[in-house]
Structure 1
Amino acid sequence: MSSDTKDKSVSTKRETNWLRVLFLIQTNICGIIALFYLLKFGCMWKTFFYTILLVFLGVIGKTAGAHRLWAHRCYTASTGLKVFLMLCQTSVGNGTIYEWVRWHRLHHTFFRTELDPYNPSKGFLYSHFLGSLADLSPAQEQALKEIDLSDLENDNVVMFQKKWFYLLYALFTLLLPINAPGEYWGENMVTSFIIIGFFKYFLVLNLTWLIHSATHIWNLKSGEKYPMDSNLVFIIVKTYWLSYHYLTPWDYQIGEFGKYGNDMVSAFIRVCAALELANDLKTVDSATVRRALVKSVKEDKNITECLLEESEEVTLPSNHYLDPKKLY
């Protein structure tokens, strides 16, 4: 970290963004109202499955797109796939790819410190949404200057979305999704507005917020050796894969929700690779991990640095934002 970032005189205090607070309150209240409406009045079965499809596309846009492709560059994508993922990410209605990746790279680079905008050490609610309700502190803004974003700035798809985001948001988050049920299969427009405009929005936002808060749900905590050590054993399975993500964030197989390799996002990326829409899928095999662990112990080096050195499959660009020495 540079001397500027280490300067204790630079404030780490974050100011609440009240526009985001009002948005969050409205979104969650409307989402709960929409759930009660759905249970009481229902909707056409086509509308229900259409809503599930929109949620799936939104999650794919945020995970396979913003997270694995643009934030960590786990693989490369064709222009067509990039456009598709960009539109899916836009449908979430949670800001631009550019801004989300900026914050996410800051989160990884200064994980669990005051410079981490989603600092999980402050609890589930903070990492899930409270951290997003405040502007970055002066210290965080200064730290951002150390993070290379040139790959995003040279990506025409990302910059197109950044320039035209509000128009794309109006079209692909609100107008087209809400209008389709009434236009194509005669759904009541009030029902469509409530289910697609409120419930789907509420659901997909909370699912994608789990990218930063999932460590509190699926990750094994200190002292836990097995999933049955947790009171949540009957609901979820806890693993160390989320911790592994912070060691090898470039591995395309690490699931955002606690799984590895057999989650729907990894499967989606492999399908895209089979269709020659995705290439250069980066991963780390078990033998490489073992070699890296031995090297880390013998040479007293950072494990992430050893994984980078030992991996034969991972080839990161010279201007990749990750510096292993800044990860902790």
Structure 2
Amino acid sequence: MAPNVTHDEVEEEPRGLPKLVAPQADSYRFHVSYFTVLLFLYWHVGALYGLYLCFTSARWHTIFYAAIMTELSTLGTFCGAHRLWSHKSYKAKLPLEIILVILQTLGGQNSVYTWVRDHRMHHRYSDTDGDPHNATRGFFYSHIGHAFVHKHPEVKRRGKDIDMSDILNNPVLAFQRRYALPIFILIGYIIPTTIPLYFWKESFNIAFHANILRFVFSLNYTCLINSAAHMFGNRPYDKKVMATENLSVMLVTLGEGSHNYHHVFPWDYRAAELGSWLNFSKTFIDFFAWMGWAYDLKIVDQKSVTDRVKRTGDETYFEM
């Protein structure tokens, strides 16, 4: 069910384009997108108000519901946009694809097309000017600041060379991309807000702001993978890769903080050497593999991992 894959089977670097180097701090003057800044400010203020309501007046049903919706939306990102569509680390049948695209839409992190394009660039040009959330520009930029400015010219130029034919040829993803905004408004706002109103008579004010809270919470703890997991932690698999093994991010995201491993072996559907108890996305995929909806799960054999650790690791592997 989960075939082993060797390093030679995956092309990591683009052909015909030189590798980029980390930028100088003043190499480019970014231009602020004030609309995006105001939108994110509104979302975060609304989320703080939603958090206040959760402690003062929200029904426990609403709090539990918001927590479940938060986890479901991140599964759409981690298992769908990331492991399935960005890295093709497994295959999914149509029912699972539909479930994943709905959950990814719930998360509100752009369409799958945009997410995959940016993530493929992140791996191909990691922590250089061609990386949409280049961590060498600091924690805030890699976490969320990159969304506040117009894209670096190198990101725009290199993005044209990313092969997106598999996404464009997928009818489910093509439909989502074509109707991204109305679908997000429906799945990300209207339905999540209406359910508490209808089923347990929650007030609109509380239901709406609890939904904003779960969206902002999901967004920020997903972004920790781009920021904290590129700055804090050890590098047992490859010390020259900026991505790290970050235990705090692993705990917060239920398994997504094994980022040094993931950057070294991006095609492994587990994205870590963690067991199912600390890798909820793996458990989710394994469940659908058991159902027959997920198949051709790719993993890296232990010998390849051990050999890479010995060759390029920072000698912290056995201390984990």
TM-score w.r.t. length of structure 1: 0.77
Contact 2:113 2:177 in 1 (8 A): yes
The answer for unaligned runs of 5 or more in structure 1 is 226-231, 298-302, 304-328
SS in 2 for 1:132: helix
Distance 1:79 1:94, change over 3 A: same
Residues 66-111 of structure 1, C-alpha deviations (whole Å, 9 max, x = no match): 1111111110001111111101111112211101111111111011
**For residues 51-90 of structure 1, what are the structure 2 equivalents within 5 Å?**
51-90=66-105
| Contact 1:44 1:187 (C-alpha < 8 Å) held by counterparts | yes
**What displacement does 1:141 show?**
1.4
**Other-structure match for 1:34:** 50
Amino acid across the alignment from 1:27: W
Is the 2:129–2:152 Cα contact (8 Å) retained in structure 1? Answer: no
Contact 1:12-1:138 within 8 A present in 2 as well: no
The structure that has the greater radius of gyration is 1
Structure 1 residues 57 and 70, CA, compared in 2 at 3 Å: closer, same or farther?
same
- How many Å separate the matches in 2 of 1:38 and 1:99? 33
1:220 aligns with 2:234: yes
Q: 1:250 aligns with which of 253, 267, 283?
A: 267
Q: 1:212 to 1:236 in 2, by over 3 A?
A: closer
Task: Identify which range, 76-85 or 211-220, moves more after superposition.
Answer: 211-220
For the residue of structure 2 that corresponds to 1:100, the secondary structure is helix
Aligned-pair Cα RMSD in Å: 3.1
Partner of 2:215: 201
Distance 1:3 1:46 in 2: 53
Identity across the alignment (%): 29
Q: 1:13 deviation in Å? A: 5.0
Partners in 1 of 2:159 and 2:106 — Cα distance? 26
**Does 2:312 correspond to 1:281?**
no
CA deviation map 1:125-178 (0-9, x unaligned):
111101222232222211112221111111111111000111111110111110
Q: 1:283–1:4: structure 2 CA closer, same or farther, 3 Å change rule? A: closer
SS of the residue aligned with 1:220?
A: coil
Change (3 A) 1:87 1:268: same
| 1:21 counterpart = 2:37 | yes
Give the residue type in structure 1 aligned to 2:223.
W
Deviates more, 1:284-293 or 1:265-274: 284-293
Change (3 A) 1:148 1:14: farther
SS of structure 1 residue aligned to 2:264: coil
SS of residue matched to 1:211:
coil
| Alpha-carbon distance in 1 for matches of 2:156, 2:249 | 39
Residues in 1 aligned to 2:17 and 2:290: alpha-carbon distance in whole angstroms = 47
Distance in 1, Cα, partners of 2:256 & 2:47: 30
For structure 2, the 5+ residue unaligned runs are 1-13, 240-245, 314-320
TM-superposed deviation, 1:123? 2.3
Q: Which moved more, 1:171-180 or 1:182-191?
A: 182-191
Residue 266 of structure 2 aligns to a residue in which SS? coil
Q: How does 1:297-308 map to 2 (within 5 A)?
A: none
CA distance in 2, matches of 1:240, 1:168: 30
- Aligned positions, number: 282
Q: Distance in 1 between matches of 2:271 and 2:17?
A: 34
> Does the CA contact (< 8 Å) of 2:249 and 2:256 recur in 1?
no
Q: Secondary structure at the match of 1:246?
A: helix
* CA distance, structure 1, for counterparts of residue 176 and residue 98 of structure 2: 9
8 Å Cα contact 2:225-2:259 kept in structure 1: no
Residue 292 of structure 1 deviates from its aligned partner by: 5.6
Return the letter of the residue paired with 1:253.
R
Contact 2:225–2:257, Cα closer than 8 Å, also in 1: no
1:1-328 correspondence to structure 2 within 5 Å: 2=16, 13-41=29-57, 43-196=58-211, 198-216=212-230, 219-220=233-234, 241-254=258-271, 259=274, 262-291=278-307
AA at the equivalent of 2:269: Y
In structure 1, distance between residues paired with 2:85 and 2:152: 24
